[in-house]
Every structure is written in structure tokens, then in C-alpha cells.
């Protein structure tokens, strides 16, 4: 029996309707930009395994750091203890975070970083004796699958059965040149209730919403308005963080910096899970008091796991390296040229890029996870490329170490596919 058959006996996969889905393929090895299946085929990981393995799989620097850590300190309670990887990681992260971020809170994945951000925002006001319970988020946002994160997410495909039990959230459209006046008006009306605790957003790119992009200058308008009223601005950089938009963080492109940031995915270069919610000194200070109850009583067993922290240190070191920065620039340039080449293609309704993210909306009407979409996925797999279309959107977020010829191979395969539609 191969892995596919053995898998079916006990395993339940994420985002999957098992009755209609196709078999899960067994991947037995990953190296650099390549995934290897159990039958000896290889595929370029064109989405960096959900935007985590941005330095390629099993990068020697990551492997070395993590291996060293595994044999010296594996896991320790982070309440009452601290350890070198956590401290070093905090120092390293401070080198690249927007300067207003001063404190770091640990968890295990992207969703929990958002739940924590929401709880921090609510308690920030509560600790000051203010009753602020409203949360503002964008339409069609995606922030994860735990209850808080799901509440601020606006994509029905994930939330349907839970819509009556999630937190109440006021939703606004993502601002653009056409709607900015209306969005500002809607936003101001909600702010005027004086009950808003926080504004949660994916800065510049809505990942799960088919990589839809918006301009920093419009988001800046909203952040400035919110911050005038001490509404906590939460940038969910789980997807955009660590180089995806061409800078360390999408927030680097903003004039008004968020009060809280959510980080995960590429934080550990895909080696082990970890999430971080970072905040300003001002937020932290609202919890710093003689009353014990004003502390933040939230904690995950694996908080600041030393192995995960060591992976994060290695990952940030790589991100700062010339090799990786050159790689990001090479991809950005490649994407921009490809966009120019395809932008008037008759089978494309929109093509967009920011940093290493490239998304193409095809003139097709297909379900997000339906059969037609699977056929597209299979087509690219048969050509040696792993990408996961979201409905009619083809998108890639390649590892920063991808070579020019590999990138060209992806572009050519995409173009051939689009030409033939
Ligand atoms: C912007 C954003 N926030 C949060 C999450 C949730 O992260 P996780 O899947 O690690 O819980 C994701 C996942 O794709 C995401 O794109």
C-alpha cells in the first residue's frame, strides 16, 4: 500500500470535503524549491508551502541552527523561565520590525496570533476602565480558523456554519481610489459610536481573498483616523510578513504603523510552527500594574518553544542576507516583466503583483475548491509545478531562492495554460 491508501484509513485533511476530493499525494522529501513524491516525481513549490518555506525547503542554515538547538534545550515552560533562543530571537526580530513594536507574545500559529491581538485590544481598553467592544474588519478578509480569527474573517466559505456564534464585527470595504470617500464615511460612522476596540486588517494584500491588493495610502487614511481615537490597529502580517511584499513587512510601506502585528508562517522558514503577536510599549503598559488581574492571562503550552525560536533566528538571519534580498528583487523584477507581458491577454481579467506575490484572475467561472479548479491544479502538477488556484485565480509566492530558469519555467507554463483557455 502506498501512502495515499494508508492515509485514507485515519487521516482527516484541512479544507477538504473527503467525499469529493481527489487522493492526497504522498510527499516524501523536500529540498530547496523542490518537493519529491513517493513515486519519484518532483515539483517546484511555487507557493512556498502556504508561504512558509520562503528560503526553500531544508535550507542548510536553518537545518544547522535547529539541529544544534534540538540537542541542547528542547522545551521549557515559558512562565517563570526564559532561555537563550527566546531572548536572541526577540533581539533579532527587533532589528527588522517597525520601530514602534516593542513587546512580543508567543503562540503557535497564525490564527492564535490574531485571537491574541483581539484579546489584547479588548483588555487594553478594559484595563483602562473603558467599555469598547466593537471590532472593525475588512470585507472578504481572512485571518484564520480559531473563533476570534474566524470572526474577523469575512469569507463565507469558511465561516458559514458558525456565523451565529462568532464575535460581532463591523465590516468595511477595502479602500481604493473609487470608493475611498464612502469607506472613510462608513469608517467614521462606526468610530463615532466611541465603542470601537480595534481595527484588524491584512495590510496591502488579502491572501485568501485571491491575493487582492490595495494601496498603502488608502489604508493609511483609515489607520490615522483610528489611532486618533485610540482604536488599536492590528496588522495581520501572517501572510505578508518577512519579505513577501518586497520589504520586511507590508507595514513598512505604511506611514502610520500598526499598534499590534501578527506574525507566523515564514517567521520560522516553514521548519516548525510558531506565532507571535507584537505590540507597542503603550499597549504593554496598559497591562503593567500592581493588580494581578490586569496582566494578560493567556498562555500556550509551547510558548517560545526553543526549537521554534532557533528556527526564527535562522530565518531572520537569512532574510537579512544579501543572497535572499537579491532573490526577492529577482522575483519582483521577473513578476513585473511577466505582468507587462500578460496584462492585455484576452483570457485574463486582472493580473497583479506586489513583491514576490503574483496573481492572475482568469476569465473563467469556477468554484473555489471545485472539480474545475482541481483540474487546473492537476495540470500544473503534471508539468512539475505545485500551485493551488483559488477559484479562477492562479497565484504564486515562490521561495526566495528560486533560480531564474525555474521562475521562467513557471511563467512559461502559466502562459501556455492561459493561451490555451
Ligand atoms: C493573513 C492570515 N492570517 C492568519 C492566517 C491563519 O494562519 P494559520 O493557518 O497558521 O492559523 C492565515 C493563513 O493563511 C493568513 O493568511
Ligand 1 neighbourhood includes 111 CB (under 6 angstroms): yes
Ligand 1 neighbourhood includes 144 CB (under 6 angstroms): yes
Q: To test the ligand 1 pocket, which listed residue (48, 53, 106, 110) has its Cβ within 8 A of the most ligand atoms?
A: 110
Q: Is the overall model pTM greater than 0.85, yes or no?
A: yes
CA pair distance 73, 66, nearest whole angstrom? 11
CA pair distance 116, 121, nearest whole angstrom? 8
| pLDDT tens track, the chain, 421 positions | 999 999 999 999 999 999 999 999 999 999 999 999 999 999 999 999 999 999 999 999 999 999 999 999 999 999 999 999 999 999 999 999 999 999 999 999 999 999 999 999 999 999 999 999 999 999 999 999 999 999 999 887 778 889 889 999 999 999 999 999 999 999 999 999 999 999 999 999 999 999 999 999 999 999 999 999 999 999 999 999 999 999 999 999 999 999 999 999 999 999 999 999 999 999 999 999 999 999 999 999 999 999 999 999 999 999 999 999 999 999 999 999 999 999 999 999 999 999 999 999 999 988 877 788 899 999 999 999 999 999 999 999 999 999 999 999 999 999 999 999 9
User: Residue 156's pLDDT is what?
Assistant: 75
Residue nearest (by alpha carbon) to ligand 1 atom 3: 143
CA pair distance 132, 258, nearest whole angstrom? 18
Taking alpha carbons only, the member of 249, 259, 254 closest to residue 283 is 259
Stated as kind and residue range, the H or E segment containing 219 is helix 216-228
CA pair distance 259, 280, nearest whole angstrom? 6
CA pair distance 132, 142, nearest whole angstrom? 23
Ligand 1 neighbourhood includes 236 CB (under 6 angstroms): yes
Ligand 1 neighbourhood includes 397 CB (under 6 angstroms): no
Taking alpha carbons only, the member of 250, 205, 201 closest to residue 225 is 201
Ligand 1 neighbourhood includes 270 CB (under 6 angstroms): no
Decide if 84 contacts 92 (C-beta within 8 A): no
Q: To test the ligand 1 pocket, which listed residue (51, 54, 116, 142) has its Cβ within 8 A of the most ligand atoms?
A: 142
Decide if 395 contacts 47 (C-beta within 8 A): yes
Residues 6+ apart with CB under 8 A from 352: 211, 213, 339, 358, 359
Residue 231 is given by DSSP the state: P
Q: To test the ligand 1 pocket, which listed residue (51, 239, 359) has its Cβ within 8 A of the most ligand atoms?
A: 239
User: Residue 124's pLDDT is what?
Assistant: 98
C-alpha cell read off for 288: 503593567
C-alpha cell read off for 297: 492571562
Ligand 1 neighbourhood includes 406 CB (under 6 angstroms): no
Ligand 1 neighbourhood includes 354 CB (under 6 angstroms): no
User: Residue 129's pLDDT is what?
Assistant: 98
Distance 267 CA to ligand 1 centre (A): 12
Taking alpha carbons only, the member of 172, 199, 196 closest to residue 184 is 172
Q: To test the ligand 1 pocket, which listed residue (159, 265, 274, 276) has its Cβ within 8 A of the most ligand atoms?
A: 265
CA 206 to ligand 1: nearest atom: 1
Give the end-to-end CA distance of the chain in Å, rounded to a whole number: 37
Pairing of the two strands 170-172 and 134-138: parallel
Strand partners, 103: 279
Is residue 236 classed as helix, strand or coil in its secondary structure?
A: strand
User: Residue 397's pLDDT is what?
Assistant: 98
Amino acid at each position: 500500500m502506498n501512502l495515499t491508501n494508508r492515509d485514507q484509513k485515519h487521516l482527516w485533511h484541512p479544507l477538504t470535503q473527503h467525499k469529493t476530493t481527489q487522493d492526497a499525494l504522498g510527499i516524501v522529501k523536500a529540498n530547496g524549491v523542490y518537493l519529491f513524491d513517493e513515486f519519484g516525481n518532483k515539483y517546484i513549490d511555487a507557493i512556498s508551502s502556504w508561504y512558509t518555506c520562503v528560503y526553500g525547503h531544508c535550507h542548510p542554515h536553518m537545518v544547522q541552527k535547529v539541529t544544534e538547538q534540538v540537542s541542547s534545550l528542547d522545551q521549557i515552560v515559558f512562565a517563570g523561565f526564559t532561555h537563550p533562543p527566546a531572548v536572541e530571537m526577540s533581539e533579532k526580530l527587533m532589528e527588522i520590525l517597525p520601530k514602534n513594536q516593542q513587546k512580543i507574545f508567543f503562540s503557535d500559529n497564525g490564527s492564535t496570533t490574531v485571537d491574541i491581538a483581539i484579546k489584547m485590544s479588548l483588555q487594553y481598553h478594559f484595563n483602562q476602565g473603558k467599555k469598547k467592544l466593537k471590532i472593525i474588519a475588512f470585507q472578504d478578509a481572512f485571518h484564520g480558523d480559531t473563533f476570534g480569527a474566524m470572526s474577523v474573517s469575512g469569507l463565507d466559505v469558511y465561516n458559514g456554519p458558525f456565523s451565529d456564534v462568532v464575535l460581532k464585527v463591523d465590516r468595511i470595504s477595502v479602500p481604493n481610489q473609487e470608493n475611498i470617500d464612502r469607506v472613510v464615511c462608513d469608517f467614521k460612522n462606526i468610530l463615532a459610536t466611541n465603542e470601537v476596540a480595534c481595527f484588524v486588517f491584512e495590510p496591502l494584500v488579502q491572501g485568501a481573498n485571491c491575493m487582492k491588493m490595495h494601496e498603502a495610502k488608502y489604508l493609511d487614511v483609515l489607520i490615522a483616523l483610528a489611532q486618533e481615537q485610540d482604536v488599536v490597529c492590528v496588522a495581520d502580517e501572517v501572510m505578508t510578513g518577512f519579505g513577501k511584499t518586497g520589504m520586511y513587512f507590508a507595514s513598512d510601506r505604511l506611514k502610520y504603523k500598526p499598534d499590534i502585528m501578527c506574525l507566523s508562517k515564514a517567521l520560522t522558514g516553514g521548519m516548525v510552527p510558531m506565532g507571535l503577536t507584537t505590540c507597542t510599549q503603550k499597549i504593554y503598559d496598559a497591562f503593567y500594574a500592581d493588580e494581578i488581574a490586569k496582566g494578560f492571562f493567556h498562555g500556550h503550552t509551547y510558548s517560545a518553544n526553543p526549537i521554534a525560536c532557533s528556527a526564527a533566528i535562522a530565518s531572520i538571519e537569512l532574510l537579512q542576507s544579501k543572497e535572499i534580498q537579491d532573490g526577492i528583487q529577482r522575483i519582483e523584477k521577473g513578476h513585473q516583466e511577466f505582468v507587462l507581458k500578460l496584462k492585455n491577454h484576452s483570457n485574463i481579467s486582472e493580473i497583479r503583483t506586489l513583491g514576490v506575490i503574483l496573481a492572475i484572475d482568469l476569465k473563467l467561472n469556477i468554484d473555489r475548491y471545485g472539480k474545475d479548479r482541481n483540474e487546473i491544479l492537476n495540470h500544473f502538477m503534471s508539468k512539475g509545478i505545485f500551485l493551488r488556484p483559488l477559484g479562477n485565480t492562479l497565484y504564486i509566492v515562490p521561495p526566495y531562492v528560486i533560480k531564474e530558469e525555474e521562475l521562467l519555467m513557471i511563467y512559461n507554463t502559466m502562459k501556455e495554460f492561459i493561451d490555451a483557455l
